[in-house]
Amino acid sequence: MRRLIEDRDGYDRTVWKRTGEELGLTGLAIPTSYGGAGFGLVELGIAVEEMGRALFCAPFFGSAVLATQTLLRCHDEPAKHALLPGLASGEIIASLALTEEDGHWDADGVRLGATRAGDGWTLTGEKLFVLDGLIADVILVVGRTSEEPGVAGDLGLFLVDGAASGLNRSRMNTLDGTRPMARLRFDATPARPLAVASGVWPIVERVLDIAAAVLAAEQVGGAQRVLEMAANHARERIQFGRPIGSFQAIKHKCADMLVEVEAARSAAYRALAAAEAGQADLPLLASVAKAYCSEAYLQCATDNIQVHGGIGFTWEHPAHLYFRRAKSSELLFGDPTYHRGLVADRAGI
């Protein structure tokens, strides 16, 4: 993991090949008609939960979750048949570019311009915080169409080749080195439209709800792991002639962590089940899960450092890596305050 954090690409190609071709995890939630395993979002969440335990360094979330789920919900069958088999095997890495300078995960934050150019379209603008955008072979980009220069129109979803002209990619310096993010600059970059106008935001919004539920499962995996780290250290660390886990303050801290983990797991699994069944209350449940699991993971990661004492603050100990992932995941797709606002709106409060 530490080696991959320093690597430009941020992942091990041999491990990625095993993840896709041998284990079939990259195609877990892709229908068999497109070369996938034909499972659903619950199974995908279980796999991602284990990845969260290990702080898995690979382009899984950006490609196998965000980009794949977006493509599955488009009505462009030629694009699906061209890309999904490669995404299922892991031979193709894709990413979804939505967020811009303001960091908002909503339609109002989209400013990147898409302009007709002959028989096609070109994109001009910037996208930030693009998961796995630095290494993606193809990029799904959300932009605003414009028939006239300087006049923003409807939303559009576009497909951009990773080697397209006018595309400049750079790695962003973020808190969590285990989940690389990129800044993408488009300068009259040629693009193929996948969807335009009224059908775009419903697709993206549903994908964001699914992503929030899957991320909640990943957060549960990380929270479970730091709980285990804290409990093991509490049993092994001897102070004043006895394990520190025998002291009431440590007992209570570990017990509180357990309660947070189990409640977070229930919230995440409920959201995943709703996503799998296509239930109408998925947006509400996804926001509940994202808000609760974000705070639970961050609290558990913080408590794990406290239980470890001085060693928990050292660079050599893995506790800070989980804390970094917990903090960055708290902000990804909107922080708890943002999602509590969505809960209020979606519940009609």
Chain segment 216-253, per-residue pLDDT in tens: 999 999 999 999 999 999 998 888 889 888 898 999 99
Q: Which CATH number fits domain 201-346: 1.25.40.10, 1.20.140.10, 3.40.190.10, 2.60.120.620?
A: 1.20.140.10
Residue 152, pLDDT score: 58
Please check the confidence at residue 181 and state whether its pLDDT lies above 90.
yes
pLDDT band at 6 (very low <50, low <70, confident <90, very high): confident
| Separation of alpha carbons 222 and 224, rounded Å | 5
Per residue in 17-73, pLDDT (tens digit) is 999 999 999 999 999 999 999 999 999 999 999 999 999 999 999 999 999 999 999
Residue 151, pLDDT score: 53
* Average of per-residue pLDDT values in the chain: 93
Residue 4, pLDDT score: 87
| Separation of alpha carbons 30 and 333, rounded Å | 23
What is the average pLDDT across 299-304?
A: 96
Superfamily of domain 2-92: Acyl-CoA dehydrogenase/oxidase, N-terminal domain (1.10.540.10)
For the chain, domain boundaries: 2-92, 96-197, 201-346
Residue 43, pLDDT score: 97
| Separation of alpha carbons 267 and 292, rounded Å | 8
End-to-end CA distance of the chain: 44
Residue 221, pLDDT score: 97
Output the six-digit token pair for 191: 């693009």
Output the six-digit token pair for 87: 């995404």
Please check whether the domain covering 96-197 is classified as CATH 2.40.110.10: yes
Task: Judge contact between 286 and 209, C-beta under 8 A.
Answer: yes
Residue 148, pLDDT score: 57
